[in-house]
Structure 1
Amino acid sequence: MQQTYRSNIEDYLLWRGDLTFRERPFNPVDNLIFSVFAYLPLDDLVPSEAGHRGPTIKDVAEEFAKLDGVEIKRRGYSERILQHIGFFKTAAETRRFAEVRLSGFKNKFDKDVETQFAAVSFSLEDGSHYVAFRGTDATVIGWKEDFNMSFMTPVPAQKLAVEYLETAAKALRGKLRVGGHSKGGNLAVYAAAFSSWWTQRRITAVYNNDGPGFDQATIAKEGFRALQGRLFAYVPQSSIIGMLLEHSESYTIVQSTQKGIAQHDPYSWTVLGTSFVCVDTVTDTSRFIDKTLKEWLGALGPAERQRFVDALFDILEATDITSFSELSTNWFQRARSMGEAISSLDNESRTMLIKTLGLLFDTVKGNLKVLLSWELDREQLKKVTK
């Protein structure tokens, strides 16, 4: 049985924080750290134009340190954002990250065109740069855009990612690394694959940290082939998000201290030295969910997927929530609003919704037999190897 480690990116700062990027080169753990930084509320703290003269991580951390409890409450920062800020402030105290400069912060949220996008560029002292794309936040629109990926390519955030990377590449000289966590990983791969030849030749690595893939037609594009050998995907053992759709690159499986969907949390990924702690295969649960979702989506055409997603989110929007965290408040009224929204659907939409959910249920039921056979095979293997 493989040993379970508890150390994570926070421990990494203690191990590697005293060594600059000139003294010890960039590694995959650094990539995950910059991907986490992309979730920070950097509005008014980092210039919107990319360049070499932006504030340092230390400078920005000092601005965060000025926020008192009243201001934090006024801004509505979640516990998750406060965790990111605390981690960022710790990084600012290290030689490795303190003098890294930030620039080109873009943050776009548009309900009408169903877009949630943010990105920021980091300039390292070794002359290289990391372009980080933000993953999905807790907003309903952010998740709707993710669901839209099942029937639409490109979604608005993917187009914005290409534009952002091209603009950043023109402003920043030197080698480029591109990455992100969750949807941010998908945006990083898409931006790199569809960037110009001039930009693409400067990219040394693209990191997709448990982000969804693409449909087969998108992966077949020349840009993906041109990046072979420079695409790196990392998923936790029980990955769900990162297993969605198809990947052109093979993925590395990282050990996590959490279980199930909670393994998507980058703070749960285990680290040893300058590397992630890796395992040989994803869990049976991850394989089961991956198989089920792929079969379910494969049985639906793009138009059917779109109608299902639109109907599902119309029901959610009937509750007047803008963030999924709001579902836990005034739950009875929210549930009542969703019930009324379902009742108000026209017959065709309601039939489609029930039929599609029924197909998902049938797919789950069929694959439970497969999951059971995997478990039986594993038990037999244990007996043979005793």
Structure 2
Amino acid sequence: MAHYATGFVSEEIANHIKRSDSFDGPGIQVSMYDFPQLQLRKKKLLKFIPENSVIGRIFDFEEKNIVIVKSTAKLIFEHDLYTWLIQDGQFVCVDKASSMSHFVSETIATLNNSLDDATKKECLDSLYTITQTLDGVYMADASSQWKKNIKLLVKGLKEATPSSKESWKQVAKTFGQAGLSHHKTLFIK
């Protein structure tokens, strides 16, 4: 959101922005980088992601202006900034994202590029509806009740509308194919 806002605020406001930081937020769709005002302001954008980032790698295909931070958590739980390591008031950084992060990023990018907007919207809307039934307000709360919440997710998918079920089948198939095509990135050192 921070980078999107920086790219599309008025010139008057943009002149007051020295730097726009994003902390593991999803990026901007690649097509938006073509907008002239975003091109002019790209140098102001800085992104911090954990080494196994999932969320922060969504839509971000450029590896520029990214700081990769060591975390005590794994996978999606690294999205919690309180798991990021700090030493002497500075983030503890690593040189590159993990192979798992690259795999997830490339798989999601392929999935995103392979699905039409209507299918994506249908799935996101139904996922939002289902997540409203989960225990816990925050991701950490939901994860502590994961067994119960998995059952609620499955139940929600079973009770979804026929069009939502069809969209989810398409997503699952496309995701599986994308994952298979990118599995070699898991072995990159």
TM interval, shorter chain, is 0.7 to 0.9
Assess, with a 3 A threshold, how the Cα gap between structure 1 residues 198 and 190 changes in structure 2: closer, same or farther.
Answer: same
Unaligned runs of 5+ in 1: 1-186, 379-386
Instruction: Give the Cα–Cα distance (whole angstroms) in 2 for the partners of residues 197 and 340 of structure 1.
Output: 45
TM normalised by structure 1 equals 0.42
Corresponding residue SS for 2:39? helix
Q: CA deviation at 1:247?
A: 5.8
Question: Aligned runs of 1:43-122 on 2, under 5 Å?
Answer: none
2:38 is matched with which residue? 224
Unaligned runs of 5+ in 2: none
CA-to-partner distance for each residue in 1:291-349, whole Å, 9 max, x for gaps? 111111111121221122223334444x48684646839939x8368536624522x43
Corresponding residue SS for 1:242? helix
Assess, with a 3 A threshold, how the Cα gap between structure 1 residues 340 and 263 changes in structure 2: closer, same or farther.
Answer: closer
Instruction: Give the Cα–Cα distance (whole angstroms) in 1 for the partners of residues 167 and 32 of structure 2.
Output: 28
2:148 is matched with which residue? 331
1:311 is matched with which residue? 126
Instruction: Give the Cα–Cα distance (whole angstroms) in 2 for the partners of residues 274 and 321 of structure 1.
Output: 35
Maintained 8 Å contact 2:48/2:69: yes
Assess, with a 3 A threshold, how the Cα gap between structure 1 residues 277 and 222 changes in structure 2: closer, same or farther.
Answer: same
TM normalised by structure 2 equals 0.80
Question: Aligned runs of 1:260-339 on 2, under 5 Å?
Answer: 260-317=75-132, 319=133, 323=137, 325=141, 328=145, 331=148, 335=151, 339=155
- State which of 27, 31, 42 in structure 2 corresponds to 1:213: 27
- State which of 355, 361, 368 in structure 1 corresponds to 2:183: 368
Maintained 8 Å contact 2:54/2:101: yes
Assess, with a 3 A threshold, how the Cα gap between structure 1 residues 230 and 364 changes in structure 2: closer, same or farther.
Answer: same
Q: CA deviation at 1:277?
A: 2.5
Instruction: Give the Cα–Cα distance (whole angstroms) in 2 for the partners of residues 359 and 230 of structure 1.
Output: 35
CA-to-partner distance for each residue in 1:10-34, whole Å, 9 max, x for gaps? xxxxxxxxxxxxxxxxxxxxxxxxx
1:200 is matched with which residue? 14
1:115 is matched with which residue? none
CA-to-partner distance for each residue in 1:155-186, whole Å, 9 max, x for gaps? xxxxxxxxxxxxxxxxxxxxxxxxxxxxxxxx
Instruction: Give the Cα–Cα distance (whole angstroms) in 2 for the partners of residues 266 and 292 of structure 1.
Output: 24
CA-to-partner distance for each residue in 1:73-96, whole Å, 9 max, x for gaps? xxxxxxxxxxxxxxxxxxxxxxxx
Identity of aligned residues (%): 23
Instruction: Give the Cα–Cα distance (whole angstroms) in 2 for the partners of residues 360 and 237 of structure 1.
Output: 22
Structure of greater Rg? 1
Q: Which has a greater percent of helix?
A: 2
2:170 is matched with which residue? 355
Instruction: Give the Cα–Cα distance (whole angstroms) in 2 for the partners of residues 320 and 285 of structure 1.
Output: 27
Q: CA RMSD in A?
A: 3.0
